[in-house]
Amino acid sequence: MTTPNSTPTPDPDINALLRALLADAQAVLGDEFVGMVVHGSLASGDFAPQRSDIDFLVVTRDELSPATLGALEAMHARITAGGMKWASVLEGSYIPQKALRRYDPPNLHHPALRVDGSFGVDGHGSEWIIQRSIIREKGIALAGPPPQTLIDPISPDELRRAAAGILFEWWEPQLADHSRLVSDEYQAYAILTMCRSLYTFHFGVVGSKPVAARWAQGELGQPWAGLIAKALAWGHGDTVIRLDDTLDLIRYTLAGARRRG
């Protein structure tokens, strides 16, 4: 077991929020609590205050009862309403340790705090192959065992298949329904996600969005390099991203996934 980590990030306000979340989750879960890990941009060192979420994972011993789920939902509502800085961008999942160890298609539905503050049981599809890799390699344990002991190694080909799966499951439908892509913020997210997918196809590893974007600028050249620069600059001034350009990059990335089979 690790000693509880009270300063997992350089930001004291984020650390205070994570300490409160950890204490509340342990109180609600009791013996069901195995560990808690911070992952995503905080773990990779690419946290951007203007657009990043605070991603966490709580590992449980078994599936949680309806009563415990209700208590967690109430707990998260209290935290969100409590006024702590960053509480509104918490996003996390509660996954039993057996289900966390490896990707198991019949067992993909687990409790989750969504970024909009709602709480419920959600599907954890191909994206969670990618997330498992990030958690295993870079996750910051707040309490409980090191992440490497909880998750089996994930091969480069598994990561490539997962990246393709995310494209077909989530992004291809948005070529027909653009409703999520109406904001520049979401378009910037889409562009950087395409860069990360292409990076994974090429190297067989998961790179952070900024690292993948800088690589893609050099690898792809124009016109994509200029579009990627706009995505990287989003939130730092007036940045206008054309929807047609974003859709073209999604199509380009999907075509790359298809070529890989």
Model pTM score: 0.87
Q: State the Cα–Cα distance between residues 31 and 44, nearest whole angstrom.
A: 30
221: left (phi over 0), alpha (psi -120 to 50) or beta: left
Q: Write out pLDDT tens, residues 187-229.
A: 999 999 999 999 999 999 999 889 999 999 999 999 999 999 9
* Radius of gyration for the alpha carbons in the chain, expressed in angstroms and rounded: 19
| Count of CA atoms in the C-beta half-sphere (13 A) of 183 | 7
According to the per-residue pLDDT averaged within each range, which of 63-72, 114-123, 239-248 is highest?
63-72
**pLDDT category of residue 237 using cuts at 50, 70 and 90:** low
Q: Looking at the chain, list the stretches that DSSP marks H as alpha helix, in order from N- to C-terminal side.
A: 12-29, 41-44, 66-81, 97-101, 127-138, 156-166, 184-203, 209-220, 224-233, 243-259
Q: Which domains does the chain have, with CATH numbers?
A: 12-149 (3.30.460), 156-259 (no CATH)
Task: Examine the pLDDT at 3 and tell me if it is beyond 60.
Answer: no
CB environment 12-32: b (16+ within 10 A), e (fewer): eebbebbbebbebbbebbeeb
Say what the pLDDT of residue 44 is. 78
Say what the pLDDT of residue 9 is. 82
Per the prediction, the chain carries an average pLDDT of: 92
